[in-house]
Amino acid sequence: MATEVERKTDIGPPHYDQFLHPLIKENYGKWQYHETLAPGVLMHHGPAGDIYTVRVSSPRLVSVNFLNAIMDLADKYSDGYFRFTSRNNVEFLLASKDNIEPLKQEVEALGLLVGGTNNAISNVVHTQGWVHCHSAATDASGLVKSVMDELAEYFTSMKLPAKLRVAVACCLNMCGAVHASDIAILGVHRTPPKIDNETLPNLCEIPTTVASCPNNAIRPTSIEGKATVKVDEEKCMYCGNCYTVCPAMPLADPLNDGVSIWVGGKICNARTEPMFTKLAIPYLPNNPPRWPEVTSAVKKIVEIYAANAKPYERVGEWINRIGWPQFFDMAGIEFTKYHLDDFRHAGTTYRRSLHNRY
Amino acid sequence: MKLPLLDQLEEGPWPSFVKDLKEQAKRRPQVGQLLQQLEQSYENRWDYWRGTAINVPGYGGGIIARYSDLGEKFPQVAQFHTIRVIESPGFVYSTEALRQLCDISEDYGAGIMQLHGMTGDILMLGFDNEKMMQASEALMENGWDLGGSGNGMRTIPCCIGPARCEMACYDTLRLTKYLTDKYIGYLHRPEFPYKYKFKLSGCGNDCANSMSRSDMPVIGTWRDDIQVDQEAVARFVEEMEPEWVVRNVTSRCPTRCIHLHGDRIEIDNSNCVRCMHCINVMHLALAPGKDRGVTMLIGGKRTVRSGEMISSVLVPFQKLESDEDYLAFCAIVERIWDFWGEHGNEHERVGEFIDRVGLGTFLDGVGIEPDPQMVANPRSNPYIKFEEYAAPRLEGEPQKGANVLEHEPDRREDYEGS
């Protein structure tokens, strides 16, 4: 194989220099200030001139067909340069202010939305779900579509008290940025894996499977002389690690899998320190294709936040100010035993003061 | 194609992935089968994928293999693997470059992409075993490299940084390229106890979500005073009204170190914690200081095994301008990899490792002096192991300092006998 001799490997990332708009290259590291001209439209000012950004929604899971449409617009309006944000928005980088309106019109004609800047809900970060993940308790793309159909007005406007970051992850591994988002939607498994003792000996390496369990709930055993594993169901926390290394232990359970809602995460250091999301609703039914229970629960939280938080107050900062009792009360969410932490460091979550609220 | 459940996701204001994938199905028939399998998932609330690992020759990661449980019914998605491709730092592209990737994605796979995956890679979906190899070669021929997976350094993402942000306190794109190039072997041939993620943000706003999602966040900051343009302050105060400024800027300062006097801003910089709030709100008038560098943090991660961890401060300030600065930065990284690599348990993230051995032991191991900037507060219990009297617990450990305990994580003992 002649090609193997010349094979190029360990190339690393391409040099970003070649993908920067000439105006960006000139202003690189010299930017002076920016302004938000409209929802989804930013102007950054540098000594070499202004660059205009138009931010556009994207379903994240996109086809070449979708990208071709985006790139045709980039060729037409932004000199062939564009980028993606860490929340999967598309950003066109325009040298001419006059291109903003025609670009917006063409973007909207494609069925996409312009927005996601400042005090808005930006694009939803999410995982693969049933489209491509092996351990998904629910779908991610469909959940995002359903929730954002309800909340689209908060993407295209900037009427929230502060930015609101929503994320979706489809199992307890929380691959989405859900653990530090203002509102997180998380697929949950609630029952231990079911072991297929017939196929397990052929599909799985037993020591690896045993070692994969964070709680040491998996033990080797044998059934009718065949090596397999058993699960101590009391210790299992449904994380799905074993299924990742051993496909003969499916965790999915159509009757009992569902969706949980988490609130108050924040990663930016502004004002208050970064915070993880906290449990708001332990379980809602998994109800495709529109997940009505989830969408209405999320909408309710967004609306009470929008109505009650102060400017620049993120969801977690707002809840810390008003207190969790008031949050549960306002959101109409029942506080249950499942809201009480019982994992490591659980004690750090108990209130150890007389700061009561009534 | 009739898909009674998924069809319901075609309507509504948010872009529909179903509509998009149906269009793509006209170009690549396997996308039709993907949608049919997804429809069945929606119907039965059941996931039909199985995961495993496949590697391209010379690489120990970068391919996420997926096999369908419904391979007989939907043979075109029986093997439907994802290729991770190292992104362009800052997620910037020219249409020419992305069109090349789109062609490879369609020529060999389903023409479905994600820009970008959680780790920062470009994800390309829908390759079978054979095409996956061919696509990987085609990528490399065209100057694109495979991303990371497994127990190695992972692909590095960063915020837009100096390419389009006046807040950036260091060159995030440059460091992304530098680290990836320098450590490309660790990315392609995993040899750590577990994954090691860098994420790079230019300032405390942390647009790369580094603190919660990476083992080693590198975040821009500064040591000197916030730059204040008092004329711009006066214009801002006049426009917004003094009361608004007090309510939304000065009184929101976490240490109350910023004050409004008439139409002037005064800052007690010795108490400024560089949170970015005042600069974010008054960005026409305020800017980060000029003596800039990075804070290196350690140990962020989510759930698996020990639960969530936000990273904590390891090196409060490190300059990152000259070549020497870059080398000093890398020396710290390499000492961490050496120490954690030697003593970390299998599948133990560096944050969990520190949790197990203690930050003091970790600092000894990597040769960094303790600093009060590393803690929220000092210990509040008195069970101190004074080195002068503590017996070495492990042969061959550094003489100085508390020693690493080569025992299983605590929880293992917790469960014994239960």
**B232: nearest CA partner in chain A:** A33
Mean pLDDT of B137-147: 96
B212 touches chain A (CB under 8 A): yes
B248 touches chain A (CB under 8 A): yes
Peptide bond before B190: cis, by omega within 30 degrees of 0?
A: no
Of B15, B140, B346, the CB nearest to A211: B346
Residue B88 pLDDT > 60, yes or no? yes
3-state secondary structure of A110: coil
pLDDT tens track for A6-47 = 788 899 999 999 999 999 999 999 999 999 999 999 999 999
Q: What is the pLDDT of residue B392?
A: 57
And the tokens for A324?
């969790």
Higher pLDDT, A109 or A240: A109
Contacts of residue A260 in chain B, CB cutoff 8 Å?
Answer: none
Given pLDDT bands bounded at 50, 70 and 90, which one contains residue B418? Answer: very low
Taking the C-alpha atoms of residue A184 and residue A298, their distance in angstroms, rounded to an integer, is 9
Given pLDDT bands bounded at 50, 70 and 90, which one contains residue B406? Answer: very low
Residue A206 pLDDT > 80, yes or no? yes
**CATH of segment(s) B161-223+291-374:** 3.30.413.10
Residue B346 pLDDT > 90, yes or no? no
Where b means 16+ CB within 10 Å and e means fewer, B74-93 reads bebbbbbbbbbbbbbbbbbb
Task: Select from B81, B340, B23, B363 the least CA-distant residue to B196.
Answer: B340
pLDDT tens track for A326-345 = 999 999 999 999 999 998 88
Q: What is the pLDDT of residue B417?
A: 45
Minimum distance, in Å, between the CA of residue B362 and any CA atom of chain A: 21
Q: How far, CA to CA in Å, does A259 sit from each of A7, A256, B164?
A: 46, 10, 38
Contacts of residue B112 in chain A, CB cutoff 8 Å?
Answer: 61-64
CB pair distance less than 8 Å for A111 and B15: yes
CATH 3.30.70.20 holds for B227-287: yes
Q: Name residues 325-344 of chain B within 8 A of A (Cβ).
A: none
Higher pLDDT, B6 or A357: B6
Residue B401 pLDDT > 90, yes or no? no
Q: What is the pLDDT of residue B1?
A: 83
Residue B403 pLDDT > 70, yes or no? no
And the tokens for A4?
């193997």
Residue B384 pLDDT > 90, yes or no? no
B89 touches chain A (CB under 8 A): yes
Q: What is the pLDDT of residue B408?
A: 44
**Is A68 exposed, middle or buried, given 0-12, 13-18 or 19+ CB atoms closer than 10 A?**
middle
Structural fold of domain B4-141: Alpha-Beta Plaits (3.30.70)
Residue B305 pLDDT > 90, yes or no? no
pLDDT tens track for B53-75 = 889 998 999 999 999 999 999 99
Taking the C-alpha atoms of residue B329 and residue B178, their distance in angstroms, rounded to an integer, is 11
Q: What is the pLDDT of residue A241?
A: 86
Q: What is the pLDDT of residue B62?
A: 94
CB pair distance less than 8 Å for A13 and B188: no
Residue A159 pLDDT > 70, yes or no? yes
B44 touches chain A (CB under 8 A): yes
Strands A90-94 and A49-56: antiparallel
Q: What is the dihedral of CA B117, A117, A298, B159, to 10 degrees?
A: 30
The percent of residues above 70 in pLDDT, for chain B, comes to 93
Phi/psi of residue B415, nearest 5 degrees: -90, -10
CB pair distance less than 8 Å for A211 and B88: no
pLDDT tens track for A246-270 = 989 988 899 999 999 999 999 999 9
Minimum distance, in Å, between the CA of residue A125 and any CA atom of chain B: 8
pLDDT tens track for B200-254 = 999 999 999 999 999 999 999 999 999 999 999 999 999 999 999 999 999 999 9
Least-confidence region, from A110-119, A302-311, B34-43, B302-311: B302-311
For testing contact with chain A, the best of B47, B258, B283 (most A CBs within 10 A): B47
B205 touches chain A (CB under 8 A): yes
Of B144, B163, B411, the CB nearest to A14: B144
- The ranges assigned to domains in chain B are 4-141, 161-223+291-374, 227-287
Minimum distance, in Å, between the CA of residue A335 and any CA atom of chain B: 22
B233 Cβ contact list (under 8 Å, min separation 6): B263, B264, B265, B282, B285, B286
Q: What is the pLDDT of residue A5?
A: 56
Taking the C-alpha atoms of residue B339 and residue B349, their distance in angstroms, rounded to an integer, is 13
Residue B106 pLDDT > 60, yes or no? yes
And the tokens for B112?
């479905």
Contacts of residue B38 in chain A, CB cutoff 8 Å?
Answer: 130-131, 139
Q: What is the pLDDT of residue B287?
A: 97
> CB of A164 within 8 A of CB of A227?
no
B214 touches chain A (CB under 8 A): no
Q: What is the pLDDT of residue A245?
A: 86
CB pair distance less than 8 Å for A12 and B180: yes
Residue A136 pLDDT > 50, yes or no? yes
Contacts of residue B105 in chain A, CB cutoff 8 Å?
Answer: 64
> CB of A185 within 8 A of CB of A168?
yes
- What is the gyration radius of the CA atoms in chain B, in angstroms? 25
DSSP-based helix, strand, coil % in chain A, nearest 5? 35, 20, 45
Contacts of residue B176 in chain A, CB cutoff 8 Å?
Answer: 13
Given pLDDT bands bounded at 50, 70 and 90, which one contains residue B396? Answer: low
Mean pLDDT rounded to a whole number for chain A? 94
**B217: nearest CA partner in chain A:** A267
Q: What is the pLDDT of residue B400?
A: 53
Q: What is the pLDDT of residue B186?
A: 97
Minimum distance, in Å, between the CA of residue A186 and any CA atom of chain B: 12
**A252: nearest CA partner in chain B:** B46
The percent of residues above 90 in pLDDT, for chain A, comes to 87
Given pLDDT bands bounded at 50, 70 and 90, which one contains residue A302? Answer: very high
Q: What is the pLDDT of residue B306?
A: 75
Our CA angle for A285, A288, A291, nearest 5°, is 60
CB pair distance less than 8 Å for B180 and A141: no
Of A14, A80, A271, the CB nearest to B88: A14
Q: Do domains B4-141 and B227-287 have the same CATH topology?
A: yes
Contacts of residue B135 in chain A, CB cutoff 8 Å?
Answer: none
Minimum distance, in Å, between the CA of residue B403 and any CA atom of chain A: 24
Mean pLDDT of B88-117: 97
A-B contacts (CB, under 8 Å): 341
Contacts of residue A33 in chain B, CB cutoff 8 Å?
Answer: 166, 283-284
The percent of residues above 90 in pLDDT, for chain B, comes to 84
And the tokens for A51?
């660059």
B310 touches chain A (CB under 8 A): yes
Mean pLDDT rounded to a whole number for chain B? 92
Contacts of residue A174 in chain B, CB cutoff 8 Å?
Answer: 302-303
Phi/psi of residue B364, nearest 5 degrees: -55, -45
Taking the C-alpha atoms of residue A81 and residue B97, their distance in angstroms, rounded to an integer, is 10
* Phi-psi label, residue B114: left if phi above 0, alpha if psi -120 to 50, beta otherwise: beta
Of B15, B92, B281, the CB nearest to A83: B92
Among positive and negative, which fits the CA dihedral A181, A187, A193, A199?
negative
Given pLDDT bands bounded at 50, 70 and 90, which one contains residue B410? Answer: very low
